[in-house]
Amino acid sequence: MAECECLPECMFFNDGMASMPAAADMFKKKYCRGDFQQGARYRVFTSPGRDQVPDDLFRDNREMAEKIMAVK
């Protein structure tokens, strides 16, 4: 199963969910492995770039991702 290349340094999971390791593991399994390319975080990461991905951007927040990508 493919894994998102951002996972090792993903601020959302590695810092934002540090106090919830079980939930983070569940989300990683669902959103960071397999079909991760469709996620909002990954789409912003690939264009306009890593520095434009907000720490609090959820994978399914396509509306926010579209706004970010439209500006860049």
Please report the pLDDT score of residue 14 as a whole number: 72
Task: Confirm whether 21 is domain-assigned.
Answer: yes
Task: Confirm whether 1 is domain-assigned.
Answer: no
Task: Confirm whether 50 is domain-assigned.
Answer: yes
pLDDT digits (tens, 9 = 90+) for 7-66: 888 877 777 677 888 888 888 887 888 788 988 999 999 999 999 999 888 888 999 999
Neighbours of 56 (CB within 10 A): 10
Task: Confirm whether 2 is domain-assigned.
Answer: no
Domain that holds residue 11: 7-71
- Could you give the number of structural domains in the chain? 1
Return the residue matching tokens 């990954």.
Answer: 42
Q: Residue 51, exposed/middle/buried by CB under 10 A (0-12, 13-18, 19+)?
A: exposed
